[in-house]
Amino acid sequence: MTTPTADIRTFADLEAAARALPRAVVAVAGAADPQVLDGALLAVRQGVAKVALVGARSAIGPLLAARGVQEGGDVEVVDAADDAAVVAGAVSLASSGRATVLLKGMISTGALLRGALAHEAGLRDEDTLLSDVLVCPNVFAPGRPLWGLTDGGLNVAPDLEEKTAILANGLAVMRALGRAVPRVAVLCASEKPDKAMPATLDAQKLAAMAASGAFGPCLVEGPLALDVVVSAEAARHKGVQTEVAGRADLLLAPSVEAGNLLGKSLYLCNRLPVAHVIVGARVPILINSRNDSAEDRYRSILLAIVVAARLGSNERAARVPALVEPAAPLALTAGPARRVLALNPGGTSTKIALFDGDRELWRADAAVSDEVAKRAGTPMAQLDDRLRAARALLAEKGLRLAPGSGVDAVVGRGGLMPPLAGGTYPITDAMIADLRAGARGEHASNLGAPMARALATELGVPAFVVDPVSVDEVRPAAKLTGWPGLDREILTHALNLRAVARRVARDLGEDLARLRLIGLHLGTGTSMAAFEGGRMVDIVNPRDEGALSADRAGSLPAMGLAKLVLREGWTASDVERRLGREAGLFAHVGTRDLREVRRRADAGDAACARALEAMVLGITKSALGLCAALTDVPDRFFITGGMAHDAALVAAIRPVLERYAEVVVVPGEDELLALAQGAQRVLAGEEQGREYGR
């Protein structure tokens, strides 16, 4: 596997990346400008650049002397008598390859750009467009990682073709900053395409182009309003389905006014450090605002140096794709879309959804009444009642339970089965017999297979389960403990972990089998998995391993636990209840609600603060411990599950994991979609259905 470019998340990272490169030469056009000169000389003093100062030596010399700098060595003065000679001299340095960055000084922007873009200069292909990318810390995201905004500087009212080039340039900068699969928000005033607002139609087309692969690995969404982009909570409130909310790497503005105002609002109102770079030519061009400090100009030089090195200073920054008509969103499965009915039985209802390919047609709950729950006792005893409720719901949705209904398969949640490899399994009599017996425990998910099989039989289509919690691909030595016969139990949130692992691989443009990943599912229980060769080679079981969570104990001292059980006289069912439903945060502070625990901790509750600290420490220790199961350092960590929506929790975990690899956050879980995708892969011939019991 190709090692991903190191991710640059801060300006300190950017400076470190520039220091690791051979020193660049910055050609300064019109260097008799004190502020520009200070920024350029700061780059020299920091050891990242040499400068060629183009302008009148008679004006530049005194400025250097006043700063205690002598001409020579890393500071070259190229004497130029007038503006035309200044432009010609600076552009010549860039076009000859002597300089890798072109910096505007005391010269008009128009004169410098005309000279740089002239055909004879050789710095631009005929079909390229120059555009400005601003980079600053994202104050809305945990850790304030760098993000970009384009184009607030050059292109006044870009049409769709120009926006295509601006997006390609912006993606090139973000990839130079290590974002292997940049997330882009195409900004508009509304999330709804509207002919009265042409920018929304452009945004829709750009997103469709990206989904078709026109821009390479990336995720582009639009039209999106700014509140949705910066806040996942705002997206949820507005009912906007987006993977970019709260996670954008790049913002694409609809016009220069919008980009300029937004950029200045971001960094002036928040007093943020900033950098700019103009891309699209064969060398980066720097045209700073007159108000920019020497430090801002220095950061822009750092950005240009890294962009030039990582993209190739003698090549175009980006290849602009041809315009295409809007296409359907990129599907996760190949071949024709199939309709799949997905079932996920839970404690109080069965979640049911119908998918056409990856597109959800509808979703609803078939509720379980309190009377049924009390009368049935065990979940498996509810089977007939659950099927009646499901059939009634399907009738309401107009789905006829007979062959020829248009459904191609039914898929159910896999329950507590014997250990098996990950994948999609056709439902068999032996599988249903094992689930009915409940040898590994009673759980509502055990109903998934028999319910799916019953409905599929009526529809005349195949029935499957996908990645049940009992997926076990762990080598024998990793299960052995210090007491013979007391092996580790291998249970995880395999469905969501494997679905997110596939998504991370897809976003990286890699085959999952070629990646090493550590996945953290943070929910009511915390489970984790180490992925290598496409398999979960080790795990953290949410029932009795890892960190304390909302109401589960996690790992406990063995001797202390034995003494506790004997002292209290607990039965096996007592242990299951106490440690599996009444432990964790609930036992320590009396609530399972993470938000309440955090609110109380912020208000000075020492017990809540200590419990949160212990949970974070347990999560990070467990995740890093899984690295030992891999043959090398992980390519990525990913954090998913319901608690991944908690920005403060993620912000506490992330810096520890980022010492070793980049962290990808995919909040929540969509088990119905993951089930449907598993069935789709088999129907499309991408995977072979696995044989149960083998």
425/455 same-domain check: yes
Write the pLDDT tens digit of every residue in 511-560: 898 999 999 999 888 999 999 999 999 999 998 899 999 999 999 999 99
Q: Which residues pair with 147 in a beta bridge?
A: 136
Which domain CATH number covers 418?
A: 3.30.420.40
693/646 same-domain check: no
Instruction: Note the helical H segments in 6-159.
Output: 11-19, 34-45, 57-66, 83-95, 109-117
Tokens of 263: 């950029």
Task: Tell which wins on pLDDT, 4 or 106.
Answer: 106
What is the pLDDT confidence band of residue 147, given thresholds at 50, 70 and 90? very high
**How far apart are the C-alpha atoms of 508 and 663, rounded to whole Å?**
13
Write the pLDDT tens digit of every residue in 429-482: 999 999 988 888 888 889 999 999 999 999 999 999 999 988 999 988 999 999
Tokens of 368: 């379980």
In a domain? residue 4: no
From residue 655, give the alpha-carbon distance in Å to each of 648, 650, 674: 12, 9, 29
Tokens of 552: 């589960």
pLDDT at 163 over 80: yes
Write the pLDDT tens digit of every residue in 341-383: 999 998 778 999 999 988 888 999 888 777 776 776 788 888 9
- Contact yes or no for 463/343 (Cβ under 8 A): no
Write the pLDDT tens digit of every residue in 87-136: 999 999 998 889 999 999 988 888 898 888 888 888 876 567 899 999 99
In a domain? residue 482: no
Which domain CATH number covers 30?
A: 3.40.718.10
From residue 178, give the alpha-carbon distance in Å to each of 212, 249, 465, 572: 22, 11, 38, 51
**How far apart are the C-alpha atoms of 440 and 446, rounded to whole Å?**
10
In a domain? residue 484: no
512/403 same-domain check: no
Tokens of 426: 């056709």
Position 195: which residue type? K
Helix axes of 57-66 and 34-45: crossing angle, nearest 10 degrees: 60
233/120 same-domain check: yes
Percent of the chain with pLDDT over 90: 57
Write the pLDDT tens digit of every residue in 550-596: 999 999 999 999 999 999 999 998 998 899 889 999 999 999 888 89
Tell me, what's the pLDDT at 312? 59
602/642 same-domain check: yes
626/689 same-domain check: no
**How far apart are the C-alpha atoms of 399 and 408, rounded to whole Å?**
13
pLDDT at 412 over 80: yes
397 CA to centre of own chain: 34
Of 276, 311, 346, which marks where a domain is finished?
311
In a domain? residue 349: yes
Phi and psi at residue 3, in whole multiples of 5°? -70, 125
Tell me, what's the pLDDT at 285? 94
3-state SS class at 344: strand
3-state SS class at 350: strand
Token match 């000859």: residue? Answer: 96
Tell me, what's the pLDDT at 243? 81
Tell me, what's the pLDDT at 327? 32
Q: Which residues pair with 662 in a beta bridge?
A: 636
Give the burial class of 679: count Cβ atoms within 10 A of its Cβ; 0-12 exposed, 13-18 middle, 19 or more buried.
Answer: buried
Domain carrying residue 383 = 337-472+677-694
**How far apart are the C-alpha atoms of 222 and 193, rounded to whole Å?**
9
252/202 same-domain check: yes
Write the pLDDT tens digit of every residue in 329-340: 333 334 455 899
Split into its structural domains, the chain has a count of 3
- Contact yes or no for 218/181 (Cβ under 8 A): yes
From residue 643, give the alpha-carbon distance in Å to each of 438, 475, 527: 29, 29, 12
Nearest 5 degrees, angle CA 422-CA 425-CA 431?
Answer: 110
Write the pLDDT tens digit of every residue in 239-266: 887 888 888 999 999 999 999 999 888 8
Phi and psi at residue 384, in whole multiples of 5°? -65, -45
- Contact yes or no for 423/401 (Cβ under 8 A): no
Tokens of 52: 């060629």
Tell me, what's the pLDDT at 328? 32
286/354 same-domain check: no
Write the pLDDT tens digit of every residue in 273-315: 899 999 988 899 999 877 778 888 999 999 999 999 887 533 3
In a domain? residue 481: no
Tell me, what's the pLDDT at 1? 33
- Contact yes or no for 529/497 (Cβ under 8 A): yes
Q: Which residues pair with 356 in a beta bridge?
A: 339, 359
Tell me, what's the pLDDT at 511? 87
Tell me, what's the pLDDT at 4? 42
Three-state secondary structure readout of 132-151: EEEEEECCCCCCCCEEEEEC
Is there a cis peptide before residue 292, judged by omega within 30 degrees of 0? no
pLDDT at 189 over 80: yes
In a domain? residue 328: no
Nearest 5 degrees, angle CA 325-CA 329-CA 332?
Answer: 140
In a domain? residue 331: no
Give the burial class of 273: count Cβ atoms within 10 A of its Cβ; 0-12 exposed, 13-18 middle, 19 or more buried.
Answer: middle
CA-nearest of 69, 68, 87 to 78 is: 87
Tell me, what's the pLDDT at 149? 96
Average predicted confidence (pLDDT) for the chain: 88
Tokens of 452: 């799916």
592/455 same-domain check: no
Q: What's the whole-number mean pLDDT along residues 385-406?
A: 91
657/616 same-domain check: yes
| Half-sphere exposure in the Cβ direction for 439 (13 Å, CA) | 8
pLDDT at 271 over 70: yes
587/614 same-domain check: yes
64/205 same-domain check: yes
In a domain? residue 636: yes
3-state SS class at 245: coil
- Contact yes or no for 422/467 (Cβ under 8 A): yes
